[in-house]
Amino acid sequence: MKALINHQDQEYQIDLSQPIDISLSLQNSPDNPIAWYLSQPEIEPVQMGDFVGSVVSGKSSTNFNNILFNPHAHGTHTECLGHITQDFYSVNQTLKQFFFSAELISIEPEQWENDYIITKAQVQKLLAHKLPEALVIRTLPNLEEKKSKNYSHTNPPYLSESAAHYIRECGVQHLLIDLPSVDKEQDQGKLLAHKAFWNVKDVKQLNADARLNATITEMVFVKTSVPDGSYLLNLQMASFENDASPSKPVLYAIL
């Protein structure tokens, strides 16, 4: 089903029957991606006395599960600057619009000392003066293991501070990446890329020009068959009053 969407005074023709889901599902399985030294999420039937919330158990007419997970560690999630500030900010209050112009770029991180980083020069070259509202970064090589990888203690690639600053200066409001964090796994709490993108100068007292409406979405997965280029992004998430929420970003090719 084709649709004509008017967004920011620009018309986008898309096919609603051809969504490109770039989220990772949360599952009670060793195949669930993990970061930050946690174990896999738990999805288990509620048990209260003789009641077990599972149809197959024969003790319930419905499946009635509890779910224990961490949005930052267990799959695709969207976060606001409340992730790094002393004061509480909710991503559910931050994200109030859900369609955005988006650019997908693929980058092979460069070695820098003992790390692999995404540089400003790489982003600058691939954006090529485009000014999308959202930027999706797919790292290369684009291995299927991203969908089930345990990232803990692996020092994954990350975004350099200058790259994050450049992305902010380009006006990108929503940054999406297929890594567990835009920052280095062990950085002594510096969080340079987070701070540069959100323009947070002091986590204890927020500066007036901090980007309250900007979001970062981590641990997406974009299939290799999806070409780099311009898309319309639908960024949806669960309505948690928290700094982060599990999310479901969906791209639509522009016809």
> What pLDDT, in 10s, does the model give residues 42-96?
999 999 999 999 999 999 999 999 999 999 999 999 999 999 999 999 999 999 9
Please state whether the predicted TM-score (pTM) of the whole model is above 0.85. yes
Helix 161-169, helix 120-127: angle, nearest 10: 30
Asked whether the bond before 141 is cis by omega within 30 degrees of 0, the reply is: yes
The reported pLDDT for the residue numbered 254 is 96
128-132, 136-140, 141-145, 180-184: range with lowest mean pLDDT? 128-132
243 CB-contact burial (10 Å; exposed 0-12 / middle 13-18 / buried 19+): buried
Would you tell me how many other CB atoms lie within 10 Å of the CB of residue 132? 21
**1, pLDDT greater than 90:** no
Average pLDDT taken over every residue of the chain: 97
DSSP string of 123-145, one letter each residue: HHHHHTT---SEEEEEESS--GG
Q: Which residues fall within 8 angstroms of residue 59, CB to CB, at 6 or more apart?
A: 50, 51, 52
Residues 167-180, mean pLDDT to the nearest whole number: 98
Phi, psi of 159 (to 5 degrees): -90, 130
Residue 87's SS3 state is coil
Total residues belonging to the chain: 255
Instruction: Write down the CATH number for the domain with range 2-26+72-253.
Output: 3.50.30.50
